[in-house]
Amino acid sequence: MARKVDVRLVFQRRLKQARLTQELSQRDLGINAGLDPFVASTRINRYEKGIHEPDMATVARLAAALKVPTAYLFAEDERLARMILAFEQLSATEKDQLLKTVENP
Amino acid sequence: MARKVDVRLVFQRRLKQARLTQELSQRDLGINAGLDPFVASTRINRYEKGIHEPDMATVARLAAALKVPTAYLFAEDERLARMILAFEQLSATEKDQLLKTVENP
DNA sequence: CCTCGATACTACGAAACTCGTAGTATCGCG
DNA sequence: CGCGATACTACGAGTTTCGTAGTATCGAGG
């Protein structure tokens, strides 16, 4: 029953890592996500450090600014995280095809 | 730029649907997620109706009670949602194999 | 039709949390 | 060292969620 890595830690890690991948400062990420430029740095910092939790709307805007699906930021399992990113790169038909093979036992 | 279905609506929908799939009442879902039995019904109801937002820790416990990955509850895209559920059913080696094929352009 | 149990839902004030403000600390480089 | 950019934080105000205490609705049985 134990062993559940806190989602908040997962969120922090994925947020920071995705930001660094996009080569954005905390401030610029916040601005790109539509936050007031005067508070962008402060708020992103608090989200990455786990001091505060953003609401869902903010999470979605962050994900958009980071060019990742919102779900990615909550993927505890590393393999699932990679799959989410890879899946997004596929065309609609490729997605359908992949689903067809994976969903059938 | 418009067209972003609110994540909150997605969350509400997936939460409710997953609960019905597990054939749980709002109350029982809350209890299974570790909420005080006296407030379980109230709180789950508010989450499903979008009146309040649960914090991340609560979301994770809800996902566990619903037997879905936390990320699933935030998957805006229907195909991605299905993929997340299907992916979880795979063995470790199957996941690795699938990733290998999908991650290579 | 009417009641009863279970399920779904809601108003209200108290408690908990995030917010903006106004900074300080640290890092990289000339 | 000094400067600009980036990272980080204490504090009170404002917002949000919380528990309490219900009411509304639905479905089956009498």
Model confidence at B3, pLDDT cuts 50, 70, 90, reads very low
pLDDT exceeds 50 at position B19: yes
* pLDDT, one tens digit for every residue, chain A (105 residues): 333 559 999 999 999 999 999 999 999 999 999 999 999 999 999 999 999 999 999 999 999 999 999 999 999 999 999 999 999 999 999 999 999 999 987
Distance, CA of A67 to CA of A32 (rounded, Å): 11
- CA B36 to C1' D19, whole Å: 10
- Judged by CB atoms closer than 8 Å, whether chains meet at A6 and B84 is answered as no
Check residue A5 and give its pLDDT.
59
Contacts with B9 from chain A: Cβ below 8 Å: none
Q: Which residue has the tokens 């009670």?
A: B65
Check residue B37 and give its pLDDT.
97
Q: Which of B10, B3, B11, B43 is nearest to B25 (CA)?
A: B43
Spatial neighbors of A92 by CB under 8 A, at least 6 apart, are B79
- Chain B residues touching chain A at CB-CB below 8 Å: 4, 6-8, 11, 53, 55-57, 59-60, 64, 69-77, 79-80, 82-84, 86-88, 90, 92, 95-96, 98-99, 102-103
Q: Report CA dihedral (A46, A35, A13, B73) to the nearest 10 degrees.
A: 110
- CA B90 to C1' D3, whole Å: 55
What's the per-residue H, E or C state across chain B?
A: CCCCCCHHHHHHHHHHHHHHHCCCCHHHHHHHCCCCHHHHHHHHHHHHHCCCCCCHHHHHHHHHHHCCCHHHHHCCCHHHHHHHHHHHHCCHHHHHHHHHHHHCC
Instruction: Indicate the pTM of the whole model.
Output: 0.94
Alpha-carbon gap: B39 to the closest alpha carbon of chain A (Å)? 22
Which nucleotide does the CA of A46 lie closest to, via C1'? D8
Check residue A28 and give its pLDDT.
98
Stretch B66-90: mean pLDDT, rounded? 98
CB burial class (10 A; 0-12, 13-18, 19+) of residue A55?
A: exposed
Stretch B4-25: mean pLDDT, rounded? 94
